Amino acid sequence: MSLLELRGISKSYGGVRAVDDVSFGIEPGTVHALVGENGAGKSTLVKLVTGVIQPDDGDLLIDGEPVWIGDAQTAHRLGIVAMYQEPTVFPDLSVAENVFAGRHPRSRLHTVDWRGMEDEAMRILRELGVDFGPGTPVRGLGVADRQLLEIAKALSTNARLLIMDEPTAALSPNEVDNLFATVRKLRERGVAVVYISHRLEEVAALADTVTVLRDGRHIDTKPAGELSQGEIIRLMVGRSLDALFPKEEAEIGDVVFRADGLTRRGVFADISFELRRGEIVGLAGFVGAGRTEVARSIFGVDPLDGGRIEIEGRPFRPRSPRAALRRGLAYLPEDRLHEGLVQPMSISDNTSMAVLPALTAGGFLRPRLERSLARRFMQQLSIKATSPAQVVRSLSGGNQQKVVLGKWLAAEPRILILDEPTHGVDVGTKADVHRTISHLAAQGLTILLISSELPEILGMSDRVLVMREGRLVTELSRDEATQENVIQAAAGVTEEAA
């Protein structure tokens, strides 16, 4: 009987079916890989199982018994522990205390039993084959060591199900092998491990069973042996190209933006590409490939360690977003909630934020002008809101995304970088955004479209660049690009292994 069974689980956000009637079981003592494109519902499932959110319908069963996981503490008690890409730890405390925070082992006198705690921590660390001691302050540990710490913490609460979400994204090769050895030890102890990764060679090397998700639906669950990497890719892709992408024909002009040898130590290395006027260039790749990091460095948000950029023939040193905007370069951030909008402010305040210098006369605001600007984009992007003065916090996800788009279009950029523009929005908004993008390109705007949704990349782009682990691996023209060869490039799967 399986340790954890999902039966008919569904969850939707504001009209978008993130998870649709998913059922499969996870057996104790096995490594169960969960694969699928971005937005296929993987992270939503993780949040359902760890009690961060609750399903709309369907049941979760532990050892055959239906359970309701209302919050993270309940999940903990049931032995379900999740580990994210950047583990959350107490940087100021020692390793041992991180493992036992909030539930220190007590001596007879009800005091903290330091020796007992450190011995117990040492035992677990030894088992995981770790090279740092229980007394080491966590502040000095790298990501790999912090992950081992999370695993140690899970073992100390004798967790029965450990979910690892993209654990190897930031690890070096030998750190990955070390992690695999640890996972195999967990398996021998009867712990079930849900392993989520887009690195199919890791899935092949580690997993006992593989579950493939697509568009929030459960496609298949098979023993790893029976699925080659190529077959997995074929199950992953093949999303219906139903949404008709109205790609207007745009006349491609000369080179507007050239980057060569862009490098940021430890994140991405020698990225070189060109963008032409009126062209939409898709930038594909999995989470952690470094696409957002490249965009943020170009826009001056993060530092750049090397490489040169030219905009319209003139060199450009990205010192700050303000400098980039002045050169006609705009960036629509991936994290809409925290970086795209100022929630408590109105639509017109947000729309005019990036262009205030142009809208003000001698430093004085002109509210009428701002309101008309906001109305223009509300109408152009069909944003459903009562008035420009409405607070952005009260808008739906789709409308918020349109306001962010409007904000950057108001800056009248010549080059627009879009980072996951349609992530988590309803189908209607997605179509509106696509229509706007292709219309703008037709008018001569140059667009770099970062997206993890293959249909969107293939449907919208004149050219497709693919990145993996901080490098630009291939460039495909619109006709050459298919879902398979883009995913293969992104996952690093070569022809013969398919």
Of residues 144-163, those binding another protein (CB under 8 A): 145
Structure-block tokens of residue 106: 């007590």
- DSSP β-ladder status, 31-35 and 192-196: parallel
Of residues 390-429, those binding another protein (CB under 8 A): 390-391, 393-394, 396-397, 407, 411, 424-425
Q: What is the total residue count of the chain? A: 498
Can you tell me which of 64, 70, 123, 139 binds another protein, judged by CB under 8 A? 139
Can you tell me which of 172, 272, 372, 477 binds another protein, judged by CB under 8 A? 172
- DSSP β-ladder status, 31-35 and 57-62: unpaired
Q: Cα–Cα distance between 140 and 142 in angstroms, integer?
A: 7
Name the residue nearer to another protein (CB basis): 64 or 303.
Answer: 303
* 446-450 β-sheet, strand order: 329-332, 415-419, 446-450, 280-284, 463-468, 471-477
Q: How many CA atoms lie within 13 A of 64 on its CB side?
A: 1
Name the residue nearer to another protein (CB basis): 188 or 495.
Answer: 495
Can you tell me which of 64, 66, 129, 357 binds another protein, judged by CB under 8 A? 357
Structure-block tokens of residue 297: 């460095």
**Contact between 450 and another protein per CB under 8 A:** no
Phi and psi of 321, rounded to 5°? -50, -35
What is the amino acid identity at position 34?
Answer: L
Smallest gap from residue 289 Cβ to another protein (A): 10
Q: Are 467 and 283 in contact (CB under 8 A)?
A: yes
**Choices 40-48, 189-197, 228-236, 240-248; region in contact with another protein by CB under 8 A:** 40-48
Tell the residue number behind the tokens 């916090």, with chain if given.
393
**Choices 99-107, 181-189, 231-239, 244-252; region in contact with another protein by CB under 8 A:** 99-107
Binding to another protein by CB under 8 A, coded x per residue (else -) over 59-78, reads -------------xx--x--
Nearest to 381 by CA among 404, 356, 348: 404
Name the residue nearer to another protein (CB basis): 89 or 207.
Answer: 89
Binding to another protein by CB under 8 A, coded x per residue (else -) over 427-446, reads --------------------
Q: Cα–Cα distance between 164 and 154 in angstroms, integer?
A: 11
Name the residue nearer to another protein (CB basis): 63 or 71.
Answer: 71
Smallest gap from residue 268 Cβ to another protein (A): 8
Counting residues that bind another protein (by CB under 8 A) gives 104
**Choices 95-103, 184-192, 233-241, 307-315; region in contact with another protein by CB under 8 A:** 95-103
Can you tell me which of 311, 341, 373, 417 binds another protein, judged by CB under 8 A? 341
Can you tell me which of 101, 177, 319, 477 binds another protein, judged by CB under 8 A? 101
Of residues 203-262, those binding another protein (CB under 8 A): none
**Choices 56-64, 133-141, 452-460, 476-484; region in contact with another protein by CB under 8 A:** 133-141
Question: Could you write out the DSSP letters of every residue in 291-313?
Answer: HHHHHHHHTTSS---EEEEEETT
**Contact between 269 and another protein per CB under 8 A:** yes
Alpha helical stretches, state H, 134-199: 143-156, 173-188
Q: Are 289 and 468 in contact (CB under 8 A)?
A: yes
Q: Name the 3-class secondary structure at 318.
A: coil
**Contact between 97 and another protein per CB under 8 A:** yes
Nearest to 277 by CA among 248, 302, 256, 303: 256
- DSSP β-ladder status, 280-284 and 306-311: unpaired
221, β-bridge pairs: 211
Can you tell me which of 156, 468, 486, 487 binds another protein, judged by CB under 8 A? 468
**Choices 24-32, 60-68, 311-319, 355-363; region in contact with another protein by CB under 8 A:** 355-363
User: Measured in whole angstroms, how far is the alpha carbon of residue 36 from the centre of its chain?
Assistant: 13
Q: Cα–Cα distance between 124 and 149 in angstroms, integer?
A: 10
Q: Are 33 and 229 in contact (CB under 8 A)?
A: no
Binding to another protein by CB under 8 A, coded x per residue (else -) over 271-290, reads --------------------
**Contact between 129 and another protein per CB under 8 A:** no
**Contact between 134 and another protein per CB under 8 A:** no
**Contact between 345 and another protein per CB under 8 A:** yes
**Contact between 471 and another protein per CB under 8 A:** yes
Of residues 290-319, those binding another protein (CB under 8 A): 299, 301
C-alpha distances in Å from residue 77, one per residue of 103, 160, 311: 13, 10, 56
Question: Could you write out the DSSP letters of every residue in 42-92?
Answer: HHHHHHHHTTSS--SEEEEEETTEEE---SHHHHHHTTEEEE-SS----TT
Smallest gap from residue 77 Cβ to another protein (A): 10
**Choices 59-67, 246-254, 326-334, 452-460; region in contact with another protein by CB under 8 A:** 326-334
Can you tell me which of 8, 66, 86, 477 binds another protein, judged by CB under 8 A? 86
Smallest gap from residue 260 Cβ to another protein (A): 17
Can you tell me which of 84, 180, 245, 273 binds another protein, judged by CB under 8 A? 84
